Structure 1
């Protein structure tokens, strides 16, 4: 189960996913399903201010997607990703 919630833990989006689906594949549709209604007139908010996730969502593609949409993120890097970037040195680190 994948869940997007606000800072108080209230659910904002719960997309249905198959049981064997990888977290990285469900990462992009999750923020796109968020709809927070405004108190007054107007369209609902669709872009979160920040995304906090675990290491399962630390793919380079998902981070690029968040940067492209202007969403701040706090996703810890996997150790092997950090090592690969370090080994590339000036070419990618």
Structure 2
């Protein structure tokens, strides 16, 4: 189950996904499925201010997606990703 919630833990989006689906594949559709209605007239709020996720959502593609949409994020990096970046040295660090 994948869940997007606000700062108080209230659910904002629960997209249906198969049970064996990898978290990384559901990373982009999850923030895109958020729709928070405005108190007055206007379109619903669709872009989260910040994303906090676990290591399962840690990938270069998802981080680039968040940076492109100007969304602050706190996603811990996997140890193997950190080692691969360190091994690339100046080319990838």
Length-normalised TM-score, structure 2: 0.99
Post-superposition shift, 1:84?
0.5
**Alignment length (residue pairs):** 93
Q: CA RMSD in A?
A: 0.4
Post-superposition shift, 1:89?
0.5
Residues 33-81 of structure 1, C-alpha deviations (whole Å, 9 max, x = no match): 0000111111110000000000000010000011111111000000000
In 2, the alpha carbon distance for the partners of 1:86 and 1:26 equals 27
Q: Indicate whether 1:52 and 2:52 are aligned.
A: yes
**Unaligned regions of 5+ residues in structure 1, if any?**
none
**Unaligned regions of 5+ residues in structure 2, if any?**
none
Counterpart secondary structure, 1:62:
helix
Deviation above 4 Å: which 4+ runs of structure 1? none
